[in-house]
Structure 1
Amino acid sequence: MYYGEKLNAWTHLVGAVLALAGAIVLVVLAALDGDPWKVVSFSIYGTTLVLLYTFSALYHSFRGRAKEILQKLDHQGIYLLIAGSYTPFCLVSLRGPWGWSLFGTVWALALIGSLQEMRPKNDARILSLVIYVVMGWAVLVALVPLLEALGTDGFIWVAAGGLLYTVGIV
């Protein structure tokens, strides 16, 4: 493993450990708050974040056939994290019909994207990018209810996160 890959593997492993620590804190705080919706949604978010970094650390740790297989998991982790990032907003902030509709949509897209990544010869990088962008900006259909639920400051943070995800694709 050359230096850059070793560095990627180690930094992503550190990311996985930090994600696990952060997820534990979020879930404990949610449990202390007594809100089962927060406990479930933060658990889902934390799990997807840990998986993303774990898959990426493994991908950057191997060569050859193992690396090819792990690359598929690495890409699947992106779909999972996008859907996982939506989950607290869908189940806690929006909850009702808007929340459940958005939750179902982004998780269905994550499943579709993950399945297409499993194809033996995945030459659908454009399709992957389209799914990533559609997932990332699907929130626009619930723009008004989300703005009402989060307020202006909260919404600005969500929009900034969406922009960063989009820039990360490029």
Structure 2
Amino acid sequence: MPIPEGFREVPPEKAPTWRGWIHTGVLPLVIAGGIVLVVLANGSTAKIAAAIFFASALLLFGNSALYHRFKWSPKVKLALKRVDHANIFVLIAGSYTPITLLALPKEKATLLLSIIWGTAILGIAFRIFWINAPRWLYVPIYVLMGWGAFVYVVDFMNANAPMMILILVGGLCYTLGAVAYALKKPNPIPGVFGFHEIFHSFTVLAFICHWTAALLICLSPAVGSFGV
């Protein structure tokens, strides 16, 4: 049975020399930061939520480093690419987990996390089975999913204002990175540092913001949340 054109793997262009180094370099910091977050988290719920966030970040940055920095057979590379794209949904949902469980009232936390993780599962299946979907179709899903927390911005602000500010700054970084990825520009240093490196740089900045936000709420869960 012939494979539809849109589902075929397209031979990639030669990657810039910086491709993958940003996520590879930050991976040890992700591991160290994740361990610190789990250890310092206040209470069993906070530790579990922190561990989920840690695991989601480890999956994204770890697989990204493997996928981008090594030469693989076409079959293995395609598999890693599927996981790489699916992991964006995993990290978004993982980032939501500590701030939602520990900052929102239980009913709102249950609703928001159900929607986010449900969307993530559908998104994972979507990216695994249709890896060559057009960017205009799946990038907006990443962005809309990431900004879903804005529905409860007042609750988050009441729980921990600095945390919410960091979430917003991190969301802005993710959005700017997504725009660069979707448009495939700018390419400041062709062959060395292109739009994909800008995308990776913004994901690192966003992760730092969201890790700090998670630390704040893990140290002091809000009254009425699952963390208290």
CA separation of 1:121 and 1:79: change in aligned 2, threshold 3 A: closer
SS at match of 1:8: coil
By how many angstroms is 1:37 displaced? 1.5
Task: Find the counterpart in structure 2 of residue 145 from structure 1.
Answer: 155
Q: Which has the larger radius of gyration?
A: 2
The structure 2 residue matched to 1:102, chosen from 109, 112, 120, is 112
- The sequence identity of aligned pairs, in percent, is 36
The answer as to whether partners of 1:94 and 1:145 remain within 8 angstroms in 2 is yes
Q: Which has the higher contact order (CA 8 A, sep 6+)?
A: 2
Q: Which runs of 4+ in 1 moved over 4 A?
A: none
CA separation of 1:90 and 1:55: change in aligned 2, threshold 3 A: same
1:21 equivalent to 2:32? Answer: yes
Structure 1: segments with no counterpart, 5+ residues: none
The answer as to whether partners of 1:17 and 1:50 remain within 8 angstroms in 2 is no
1:69 equivalent to 2:79? Answer: yes
Task: Find the counterpart in structure 1 of residue 49 from structure 2.
Answer: 41
1:59 equivalent to 2:67? Answer: yes
Q: Name the structure with the higher helix share.
A: 1
CA distance in 2, matches of 1:137, 1:80: 15
SS at match of 1:118: helix
Task: Find the counterpart in structure 1 of residue 164 from structure 2.
Answer: 155
CA distance in 1, matches of 2:154, 2:78: 42
**TM-score normalised to the size of structure 2?**
0.66
SS at match of 2:129: coil
By how many angstroms is 1:3 displaced? 7.9
The answer as to whether partners of 2:93 and 2:120 remain within 8 angstroms in 1 is yes
Structure 2: segments with no counterpart, 5+ residues: 1-13, 180-228
Structure 1 residues 117-152: Cα deviation after superposition (integer angstroms, max 9, x where no partner)? 11155324333112201211111221221111112x
CA distance in 2, matches of 1:122, 1:3: 18
The answer as to whether partners of 1:16 and 1:51 remain within 8 angstroms in 2 is no
**TM-score normalised to the size of structure 1?**
0.87
CA distance in 2, matches of 1:104, 1:121: 25
The answer as to whether partners of 1:75 and 1:117 remain within 8 angstroms in 2 is yes
